[in-house]
Amino acid sequence: MTSETPNIRREDLQLSAHDGYPLRATLYHAPQPRARLLIGGATGVPQGFYRRFAEYAAQRGYSTLSVDYRGIGQSKPEQLRGFAMRYLDWATHDLAAALDHLHGDDLPTYMVGHSFGGHAFGLLPGHERVAGFYTFGTGAGWHGWMPPLERLRVQLMWNLVGPLIVMRKGYLAWSKLGMGEDLPLGVYQQWKRWCRYPRYFFDDPEQGHLAARFASVRTPIVAANTLDDLWAPPSSRDAFMAAYSAAPYQARTIDSRAEGLGNVGHMGYFRSSATPLWDEALEWFEQLQSNRRAA
């Protein structure tokens, strides 16, 4: 199915994840494509949230693909109770299938991440096909990196409210808290566990193999976080992104008020008011492309 937006052809797709799970995705075709762009979304955030950014990127020449991870948006089953999955399936199976669909040898492929998207890149099979990765709001998830009030709220959610909801529903009915889409049980359980650690899953004794996967990444990376991102402030970003130890890496700390962006927080990176940040990311990709041509 296809639909039209101003100057952009939007194509609705059904993809098959690496393990066969059916996924829904959307490809925003650039009128004059210069590159391909994959969006790695945040936990519990459906692909429609990124529509304005995807359309904007397509207008700038980036044919852009967004995807609903399994259990989320148009890729969720009829009911979440009893739905079995692992949190990292979103990277190793779902985003992997999206990259397979998008990538081609005729144009460079780039990726933009949001929060979990920055985790996913180090787990992504074939990440070497991505010529540049720019992520917003990626952090380690540990409450200790957060300001005191947010720290208290998050601990309350993990230790009281969340368990009560999960006990009753069989999944995290996050929508009841106004915090995003409902999350499958496997996502909730692993997310809660990893948020106990200052360096997220790298500190989990059961996930010791992950560090080597991140250390194998050679793709240039920028990680941008605002000072008012309560869930992933710059200190949290630095704790997580250190795992990309072999990648050419830049940390971008954004003072959103001083830069005239207003309150960005953890979710505002992809609202229209953050268009200057979109330009910054896309211009960085363009600079990478120019450097590669000149080499």
- Condensed to tens digits (0 to 9), the pLDDT of residues 5-31 reads 568 999 999 999 999 999 999 999 999
Task: Report yes or no on 13 lying in a domain.
Answer: yes
User: Can you name the residues that pair with 14 across neighbouring β-strands?
Assistant: 24
pLDDT of residue 1: 40
Any domain includes 202 = no
Per the CB < 8 A criterion, the answer to whether 37 and 111 are in contact is yes
Q: In the predicted model, what is the mean pLDDT of residues 169-189? A: 89
Q: pLDDT (tens digit, 9 = 90+) per residue, 102-151? A: 999 899 999 999 999 999 999 999 999 999 999 999 999 999 999 999 99
C-beta separation of 135 from 281 below 8 A? no
Q: By residue range, what is the domain housing residue 265?
A: 2-142+208-294
Residues 6 or more apart from 67 whose CB is under 8 A from it? 15, 23, 24, 25, 26, 39, 41, 47, 75, 94, 95, 97, 98
Total domain count, the chain: 1
pLDDT at position 180 is 79
Query: CATH number, domain at 239?
Result: 3.40.50.1820
| 97, HSE (Cβ side, Cα atoms, 13 Å) | 22
Domain membership flag for residue 184: no
C-alpha–C-alpha distance, residues 131 and 133, integer Å: 7
44-98 pLDDT per residue, tens: 999 999 999 999 999 999 999 999 999 999 999 999 999 999 999 999 999 999 9
For 210-268, how does the pLDDT look when each residue is reduced to its tens digit (9 = 90+)? 999 999 999 999 999 999 999 999 999 999 999 999 999 999 999 999 999 999 999 99
Residue-wise DSSP of 246-263: TS-EEEEEE-TTTTT---
Query: Does residue 180 sit within a domain?
Result: no
Average per-residue pLDDT in the chain?
A: 95
Return the pLDDT at 6: 63
110: in domain: yes
The reply to whether 179 falls in a domain is: no
> Would residue 260 count as lying in a domain?
yes
Residue 174 has pLDDT above 90, yes or no: no
Could you tell me where the DSSP H helices lie in 70-184? 89, 96-102, 116-120, 148-156, 162-169
176 within domain boundaries: no
